Amino acid sequence: MPRAPSNHVLDAIPSDVTHICRRLRDGGHRGWVVGGCVRDLLRGAPAKDWDIATDAAPKRVMRMFRRVIPTGIQHGTVTVMVRGVGYEVTTLRGEGDYVDGRRPASVVFLDDIEEDLARRDFTFNAIAIEPLAGDLIDPFDGARDLAARCLRAVGDPEARFREDGLRILRAARFAATLECEVAPATREAMGADAPLATLARVSAERVHDEWLKTMTAAKPSQGFALLRACGAMGVVAPELAAIGDDALDRSLATVDRLDDPILRVAALLMFVAEPEAVLGRLKFSRAHQTRITLAIRHHDLDPDLSGADLRRWLATVSKPHVDDAFDLALARATSENRPAVARARARARAELEAGVPLTTRDLAVRGRDLMHALEVAPGPHVGELLNHLLEVCLRDPAQNERARLLEHAAAARARRAP
């Protein structure tokens, strides 16, 4: 039986969404707001994107609106554009058998919203609102579970996880982002053999996306601890499961102290022997792989290192990655050594502000200056000389003046000469 959602919930539905539902009704059909946006509405959070379910066939939806994009028409989804914003309008569907644990083998279109809700993953994701009549359709008591902060599979949990292994990762993600507990039967099914076997077939891209969404939680540790406890960690990232419980606990505590999702991945993987292997397999972008590996490799610095060593460290880390390395170092530091790390960071910032040379491009001379002044021919020794001058300047940045550098270069050549 439909219930009435409270007025503030209905009021939060944008008028363009109601407009789409009214147009569907005028065409003899129905439209419901469904999925993540209903969940977010009910918990008073801003909705990211608005999904509409309808009993109109996709081709019919295409004809009913002026600006439509056939985004996933074979699955029944068309995007209706209203004032520059896209709304996904999806024909009610049930799903045929899952043959590969990833995608349903066939899609059948339905005219019953409750059947459409029954194929969804968790009770709080299986709620619909009919905005014109103001009905709340909540056959699995998702609103109650949401209020109680309880994540519960729709229907038989093990069968649902077996259909689509990604749901195990989605469960962990929602447990973290919505700060909820997993209902006992759902939790048990997450660790059962058949669901974990299905998880092994989920694509790396989808694992990557769920990990990053988990990293937007206030405390991602809750989601990853769940993955460890149910055995899913060993399936998607055996290298991480292999570091052992104590190391993983330290990683997760560090993850929670950071904000940036990418840097949080660095914290998660900081004790893994070869983080590159995990990042590559999970299809992290090149830029993210660089950020993460540099932060992992260089964050563990001695906070009391000398000025020259600090500048050498800056040169190796390179300017764009210095903040990441210190953020990770601070997040990982114990309360005793945190002040020392903070002092090292202040010193590093002062060096960067002073513009100390950190690469050969920052030197007051170029290779051609050396060739000209020392009358040497082009060749690898010019690069070697520049590197030597950089080392001189890392030791003492005051040496970075043209005349002084030429003197150092001449002296170095004289020492080398037979």
> What residues from 41 to 60 belong to the interface with ligand ATP (CB under 6 A)?
48, 51
For 67-115, give the DSSP string: SEEEEEGGGTEEEEEETTEEEEEEE-EEE--BSSSSSBS-EEE-S-HHH
Question: Least separation, in Å, of the C-beta of 51 and Mg ion?
Answer: 6
- Cβ contact 172:224 at 8 Å: yes
Name every residue whose Cβ is closer than 8 Å to that of residue 331 and which is 6 or more positions away in sequence: 254, 257, 258, 267
Among 167, 291, 311, 332, the residue binding ligand ATP under the rule CB under 6 A is 167
Determine if 145 is a binding residue for ligand ATP (CB under 6 A): no
Determine if 166 is a binding residue for ligand ATP (CB under 6 A): yes
Q: Determine the interface stretch with Mg ion among 36-44, 168-176, 355-363, 365-373 (rule: CB under 5 A).
A: 36-44
Binds 120, which of ligand ATP, Mg ion, none (CB < 5 to 8 A, cut-off by type)?
A: ligand ATP
- Cβ contact 283:208 at 8 Å: yes
Name every residue whose Cβ is closer than 8 Å to that of residue 172 and which is 6 or more positions away in sequence: 190, 210, 214, 223, 224, 226, 227, 232
Among 2, 36, 94, 234, the residue binding Mg ion under the rule CB under 5 A is 36
Q: Determine the interface stretch with ligand ATP among 128-136, 160-168, 244-252, 293-301 (rule: CB under 6 A).
A: 160-168
Name every residue whose Cβ is closer than 8 Å to that of residue 350 and which is 6 or more positions away in sequence: none
Question: Least separation, in Å, of the C-beta of 127 and ligand ATP?
Answer: 9
Determine if 36 is a binding residue for ligand ATP (CB under 6 A): yes
Q: Which is nearer to Mg ion, 14 or 36 (CB)?
A: 36
Distance from C-alpha of 394 to C-alpha of 410, rounded to nearest angstrom: 18
Binds 164, which of ligand ATP, Mg ion, none (CB < 5 to 8 A, cut-off by type)?
A: ligand ATP
Helices and strands, counts by H and E, the chain: 24, 11
Binds 388, which of ligand ATP, Mg ion, none (CB < 5 to 8 A, cut-off by type)?
A: none
Distance from C-alpha of 75 to C-alpha of 55, rounded to nearest angstrom: 14
Determine if 86 is a binding residue for Mg ion (CB under 5 A): no
Binds 162, which of ligand ATP, Mg ion, none (CB < 5 to 8 A, cut-off by type)?
A: none
Determine if 35 is a binding residue for ligand ATP (CB under 6 A): yes
Q: Which is nearer to ligand ATP, 195 or 397 (CB)?
A: 195
Token code pair at residue 112: 């019953």
Question: Least separation, in Å, of the C-beta of 132 and ligand ATP?
Answer: 21
Q: Which is nearer to ligand ATP, 36 or 261 (CB)?
A: 36
Strand partners, 129: 33, 136
- Cβ contact 216:257 at 8 Å: no
Q: Determine the interface stretch with ligand ATP among 102-110, 166-174, 328-336, 344-352 (rule: CB under 6 A).
A: 166-174
State the binding string over 107-136 for ligand ATP (x if CB under 6 A, else -). Answer: -------------xx---xx----------
Determine if 286 is a binding residue for ligand ATP (CB under 6 A): no
Question: Least separation, in Å, of the C-beta of 137 and ligand ATP?
Answer: 13
Name every residue whose Cβ is closer than 8 Å to that of residue 113 and which is 6 or more positions away in sequence: 30, 32, 53, 55, 92, 128, 137
- Cβ contact 125:155 at 8 Å: no
- Return the sign of the alpha-carbon dihedral for residues 327, 328, 331, 332: negative
Which value, in Å, is the radius of gyration of the alpha carbons in the chain?
Answer: 29
Question: Least separation, in Å, of the C-beta of 54 and ligand ATP?
Answer: 15
Q: Determine the interface stretch with ligand ATP among 97-105, 163-171, 220-228, 332-340 (rule: CB under 6 A).
A: 163-171
Which residues lie near ligand ATP (CB under 6 A)? 35-36, 48, 51, 120-121, 125-126, 164, 166-167, 170, 213
Which residues lie near Mg ion (CB under 5 A)? 36
